[in-house]
Structure 1
């Protein structure tokens, strides 16, 4: 099965081939391409104000690995940056919110800091259209990793894939992404249960 992933490359991947999702799928016999949906700009000046955060805060909630990179400018995980992470297996925003309320209910004061901003990868549309052109291998499956990835490709989904490539299966990483696809009137063939390469592999195997 030829699969195209619409996501950003892994946080510590130096090339697309290093991405953990690409690796696990290729090792399982899939043909895989990765189209990067977003570029990232780190808000270093905002974070500089929290250099001595321990003086005024009990903990930091990292909502993504990329926020760790933005905050400490190094390291693969919060643990390697000197933290003791909790709730790492939450999987999505809803479960993380429940975990926070359960374990930190006595800590009412919260400061929110935007660690980074995302901008559309300017080559996304061109590369996706090339994947859909006659004469090129047509993907059997597109995997969306975030609602933003769906929004960024909405025009292509509705004007090219839905009417002309209805046999391409759409897979979502998580419920929020699946909902975004369904709201466009698209059929979601599978939903990965958690944001992990193994979960995506399980979902794709069900489509074979």
Structure 2
């Protein structure tokens, strides 16, 4: 059966996207349509903070884009050697927190040792941080996107854990989203399942998907990568057929395969 994945392709990976590969193992044909476009901002300010680890108690990454912004800083200013020889181990002496395996893998490529990759959501990560950190630490540094949810900053603030955020990328709708969705529905028809990967994905895609699917929308099995996305779908009046137990290709594919049996 056809499955539509409303997500960006995995960067830096050769071969098929892991979500396409996992769904293929269950006999389903998956197609990716990128939903979001990103613009990086405040990279000079980010670079300043990255090279002053002594001013922070640790790092928090909740998205691959934030790690990408760090990589851009190191490459743009030719500071990778300085990072490797003099800076990264100072960060590694502190806590480096991440959400999700994709983000953790990119953080490791920077030479950093992440923890929390199995937390799956910012909410669960915030519990881990509150358990581990003392309120007297230097502020944790959290480079983030323009439409981050306030769950993690609020939880840390309420528990007295100091935090400093910096917006390093802005999120917008992918310029070709509507055209790509229209082409998909006209060429492949209405998919058996559609998977959403973020609340912004729900916001940007829903109107177009509703129009293209028409009366058949109710017959589509709608999947969510995690509880935050599922909540956004429910808030729009959608019936969520499955939510991945963890935000991985294996868990999402297993959930979709079960609902399509």
The TM-score with structure 1 as length reference comes to 0.88
Native 8 Å contact 1:146 1:176 kept in 2: yes
1:152 paired to 2:150: no
Query: 1:162, CA displacement in angstroms?
Result: 5.5
Query: 1:51, CA displacement in angstroms?
Result: 3.2
Number of residue pairs matched by the alignment: 205
Within the candidate set 244, 256, 261, 1:192 is matched to 244
State how 1:7-156 maps to structure 2 within 5 Å: 7-13=7-13, 18-43=16-41, 44-73=43-72, 76-106=105-135, 107=137, 108-133=161-186, 136-156=188-208
CA gap of 1:53–1:161, structure 2 versus 1, over 3 A, is: farther
Structure 2: distance between partners of 1:38 and 1:88: 23
Structure (1/2) with the larger helix percentage: 2
Structure 2: distance between partners of 1:102 and 1:162: 48
> Once the two structures are superposed, what CA deviation does each residue of 1:160-204 show, in whole Å capped at 9, x if it has no partner?
435343211111111111111111211111111111011111101
CA gap of 1:46–1:120, structure 2 versus 1, over 3 A, is: farther
Give the CA RMSD over aligned residues: 2.1
The TM-score with structure 2 as length reference comes to 0.72
Query: 1:58, CA displacement in angstroms?
Result: 2.2
Query: 1:53, CA displacement in angstroms?
Result: 2.7
Aligned to 2:38, the other structure's residue is in SS state strand
Structure 2: distance between partners of 1:11 and 1:104: 32
Structure 1: distance between partners of 2:25 and 2:44: 41
The runs of 5 or more residues in structure 1 that have no matched partner are none
Following TM superposition, the consecutive aligned residue runs of length 4 or more in structure 1 with deviations greater than 6 angstroms are none
Query: 1:49, CA displacement in angstroms?
Result: 2.2
Query: 1:138, CA displacement in angstroms?
Result: 2.6
Structure (1/2) with the larger strand percentage: 2
